[in-house]
Amino acid sequence: MTLVKKGTFAERLRQSADDVWEAIFAHPFVQGIKDGTLPMERFMYYMKQDYVYLIEYAKLFAIGAVKANDLTTMGWFASHLDGTLNREMDLHRQYCAEIGVSREELEKEQAAPSNLAYTHYMLSAAQQGSIADVMACLLPCAWSYYEIGMRLKEAVGDLEGHPYRAWIEMYSSEGFDVMVEESLQFMNAFADGKNEEELQRLENHFIITSKFEFMFWDMSYYGHEWPV
């Protein structure tokens, strides 16, 4: 299940945020997806917020492509920019179409405070930093979803008739593990040769974006909106 190799920088990152990740796995929103008990109305709120999140998140792949030092890396970021916009977001468009929420309505969704803070933190760190900063911010998003997807699929077993089947299948699908594994390899390569101060900055990005992942689940479950 774990893709991380011992002694790598990625392992250091994973360990440094382990308590945050455990809180994510135990969160009632994630547990509710697993049991199928999460109210569909909360799930749809999450999907709409996630849709506008992904538009901003996808820009990190674009920044990564600009900051890449070779064509293989540039191509990897470009292909995931395409994948996010045209495949992952299709899942959201499909769920929304099923309950009568149009594409236009999805695009008009206003980001809630935690959502806006999360994407702005990543975009600022990515723009100011190197490709290593871009990857440290991107990683918790893809990697934590991979671990959630694997845990949920294992716990649920047969997904037939499960209300969140498409969601669980997307994040536990083959191909997604490849994406995460490649991200870890890039992270280790980008961290190579960096001094301790730089590594700590990357670790800090990883911990903060992991905490934002928790906040995204929390916001989706409790509906933390703008106070006025």
Ligand X SMILES: Cc1ncc(C[n+]2csc(CCO)c2C)c(N)n1
Question: Which residues are annotated as catalytic?
Answer: 141, 213
Does 83 contact ligand X by CB under 6 A?
yes
CB of 54 to ligand X, least distance (A): 6
Residue choice 53, 76, 206, 214 for contact with ligand X (CB under 6 A): 53
Does 80 contact ligand X by CB under 6 A?
yes
Of 190 and 216, CB closest to ligand X: 216
Residue choice 57, 77, 164, 186 for contact with ligand X (CB under 6 A): 57
CB of 216 to ligand X, least distance (A): 4
With CB under 6 A as the rule, give the number of residues binding ligand X: 13
DSSP 8-class letter at 84: I
CB of 6 to ligand X, least distance (A): 24
Residue choice 88, 133, 147, 203 for contact with ligand X (CB under 6 A): 88
Can you tell me the distance from the alpha carbon of 18 to that of 12, in angstroms, rounded to the nearest whole number?
10
Crossing angle, helix 28-35 and helix 40-67, to 10 degrees? 110
Of 42 and 194, CB closest to ligand X: 42
> Is residue 38 within 8 Å of 220, Cβ to Cβ?
no
Q: Which residues bind ligand X (CB under 6 A)?
A: 50, 53-54, 57, 80, 83-84, 88, 141-142, 145, 213, 216
